[in-house]
Amino acid sequence: MVKFRVSARDVAATALNAGLYAVGSYLTSYIPTPWIVQLRPAVVIPAVFAVAFSPLVGGLGAAIGTFIASIATYGTAILTIFSGTPANFVCFYLLGKFSKPYNNRNFAAGTVIGFMTGSIIIGFGLWFLLAYMNFLIPAGTYAYKAVQGSIAAIARDPATWILSTIVWTLGTGAICTILLGLPILRICETAFPQLFSKEQIK
């Protein structure tokens, strides 16, 4: 059975993680992409928190942050409920778990494992929503406008849409996390070595 230990420091770190991730995600949310899934360099933020603090801090902060950013961007929470919120929690929780003890190899492995799992949740979650539950998306919101192309693509070839969405999400997320995360974590490890001590492994 998984046991979670939550301290006041973890609560504060989760809140900071969520706030930074929400702002960082929103800043790039309107960059055009081939799919409804955003290009989001801000994924490095919960990745760093997951390693420096704990998998729970990383995952929970990411879930809350993406939930806030999605509402601000799309005008509704329905898209993230079916995809981004659970996917972000699982992705960064696993990333944090597999990155410990922290080193470059473990971080890279944790990133791939986390984003692979999260990307599958996003791909199938959005497919289910857009193929069978799209009536839940409120008309007049940016979400309603944004999903029309994906709904048509799913109707033509759902398997290709799901696979391409998973590959896009995995590829862009993992690349951004590794390229940005490694140098940031190197700086954090030098500045705050206590965060990377054996006592911090949870």
- Check residue 33 and give its pLDDT: 85
Per-residue model confidence as pLDDT tens digits over 134-174? 999 999 999 999 999 999 999 999 999 999 999 999 999 99
- Check residue 199 and give its pLDDT: 44
Report the alpha-carbon distance of residue 168 to residue 52 in Å, rounded.
27
Ranges of residues in the chain with a pLDDT under 50 are: 199, 201-202
Rg (CA), the chain: 17
- Check residue 2 and give its pLDDT: 55
For the chain, give every domain's residue range. 8-196
The torsion angles phi and psi of 34, rounded to 5 degrees, stand at -65, -20
CB atoms within 10 A of CB 29: 17
Confirm if 172 and 122 have CB atoms less than 8 A apart.
Answer: no
| CATH no. of 8-196 | 1.10.1760.20
